[in-house]
Amino acid sequence: MEITVGLKGTVKETVNENNTAEKVGSGSLPVFATPMMVALMEKAACKALENSLDEGSTTVGTKVDVEHVAATPVGMEVTVTATVTAVDGRKISFSVEAFDEAGLIGKGAHDRFVVNAEKFTAKTYAKKQ
């Protein structure tokens, strides 16, 4: 596993009727939903790590601390970048920023932990038994 400070991942998504606050239930307005921004931040963090994890490993999100500072209307593109800021054993910390075509819409921090995918899934599903 070779995860270093400075690794970046970027993802883009166009705001549409399916990712608005009104549609996902996080508000009543037809604007980009905060939960969808957070999901893009996690996706960008995963993208930053996609070529750096050992086979059989993945990461799981454990903490998100973000501000949604500006609304984005349907039809605009949102770009999110996650940058590794620290690596402490299996814990990886990121700074995250989201922009639409007019400027900054969100920023904050996100933590993920490296896990063995098979063991993690088995342990999780054992809760049902």
Of the candidates 20, 42, 59, 81, the residue annotated as catalytic is: 42
Specify burial of residue 113 (Cβ count, 10 A radius: 0-12, 13-18, 19+). Answer: middle
Work out whether strand 91-100 and strand 57-68 pair parallel, antiparallel, or are unpaired.
unpaired
Is 58 assigned a catalytic role?
A: no
Of the candidates 34, 72, 81, 83, the residue annotated as catalytic is: 34
Of the candidates 58, 59, 68, 110, the residue annotated as catalytic is: 68
Is 62 assigned a catalytic role?
A: no
Q: Quote the tokens at residue 98.
A: 């989201």
Is 34 assigned a catalytic role?
A: yes
- The amino acid present at 24, given as its one-letter code, is V
How far apart (Å, rounded) are the C-alpha atoms in residues 68 and 49?
A: 24
User: What is the set of active-site residues?
Assistant: 34, 42, 68
